[in-house]
Amino acid sequence: MKKIIPKNAVLLTMVVVFIASAGMWWFLGTRLGVPVTTFEECVAAGNPVMESYPRQCRAGEETFIESIGNELEKTDLIRIDTPRPNQTISSPLTITGEARGNWFFEASFPVVLTDWDGKIIAQGIAQAKGEWMTTDFVPFEATLTFAVDTNAYSDKGSLILRKDNPSGLPQYDDALEIPVVLAPSTGTGGVGFAEYLSGIRGTVVLGPTCPVMRNPPDPQCADKPYQTSISIFRAGDLTSATVQAFASAESAADGTFQVSLPPGDYVLGAVGGKVMPRCAQVPATVPATGYTEVTISCDTGIR
């Protein structure tokens, strides 16, 4: 006689099997280790690390390689001594290394620090520590001050050292980018730009764009947005023979930019070409709170 199993008994059996499987998965995950998917997880699980560069960690049949950005690709153009990839950094951060002379323009190039989401939390200028008009390597140094959001999802960030590109043409852009770990701000020491509720925002425009001005104006001949680097100087520093930029910014494809700054008087200078365009210097006063709006005009030389 064929035994008939009630449907509710089958359902109960399935539930018991599911609970037992989940319990086994939890036991193995907590006791024997969760599946490894990254180099950091591989190291944390106690797996052996090969002292290659970049380092490699082996878990079972899989090998995980530590991310060091594009350092190896750019080693013949720019080299960074401090900080090293994946080093924990805090404010103020001193950056040192060496780059070939054509990485600089007017003895400097921009440096940017971003968080995990790519948000800029600090910007600055690296200065050549020797004669930069050469194809040889030239030492450089930069200092960044910043504040870290302790509520951020991740403590990972990126340090980006950009080749100065006075032409503004994208085919001449280049950058060294390395991963870093952001130490939480302690509330002491230097104050980072990210802590200020004031700064400058504006637009960089390029014109004239037509050889003859028309009346009424032709919309096709209107000034166009200009994507370039912007150096920001304290007004009082311009009297120094060895003036250095206090901060820097990058205008986007639509010409707009924004940088957080402490209150004070500044002068902004956008980077033009070796001959043209030529960009005017613009003074700006930053209030205790809020942003000052400016427009930086760059002359194409078209007449």
Q: Show the beta-strand stretches assigned E in 70-172.
A: 78-82, 88-89, 93-100, 108-115, 120-128, 137-144, 156-162
Decide whether 78-182 matches 196-299 in CATH topology.
Answer: yes
Which CATH class, in words, describes the domain spanning 196-299?
Answer: mainly beta
Residue 25 has what pLDDT? 43
Half-sphere exposure (CA, 13 Å, Cβ side) for 69?
Answer: 22
d(CA 126, CA 128): 7
Confirm whether pTM is higher than 0.85. Answer: no
DSSP string, 198-236: EEEEEEEEEE--SSS--SSPPGGGS-EE---EEEEEEGG
pLDDT, position 188: 35
Beta bridge partners of 229: 250
pLDDT at 295: 95
Q: Could you list the pLDDT tens digit for every one of the 303 residues in the chain?
A: 555 555 555 556 665 555 555 555 444 443 345 678 899 889 888 899 998 999 999 998 899 999 999 999 999 999 999 999 999 998 889 999 999 999 999 999 999 999 888 888 888 889 999 999 999 999 999 988 777 766 667 889 999 999 999 888 889 999 999 999 998 754 433 333 445 667 898 999 998 888 876 666 677 788 899 998 898 888 877 666 556 778 888 888 889 988 888 888 999 988 877 678 889 899 999 887 788 999 999 998 887
Contact in structure between 251 and 227 (CB atoms under 8 Å):
yes
Cβ-contact 261, 210 below 8 angstroms: no
- CA–CA distance, 104 with 140 (Å, rounded to integer): 10
- Dihedral sign for Cα atoms in the order 33, 38, 41, 46: positive
The domain made up of 78-182 has a fold known as Immunoglobulin-like (2.60.40)
Domain map (residue ranges) of the chain? 7-65, 78-182, 196-299
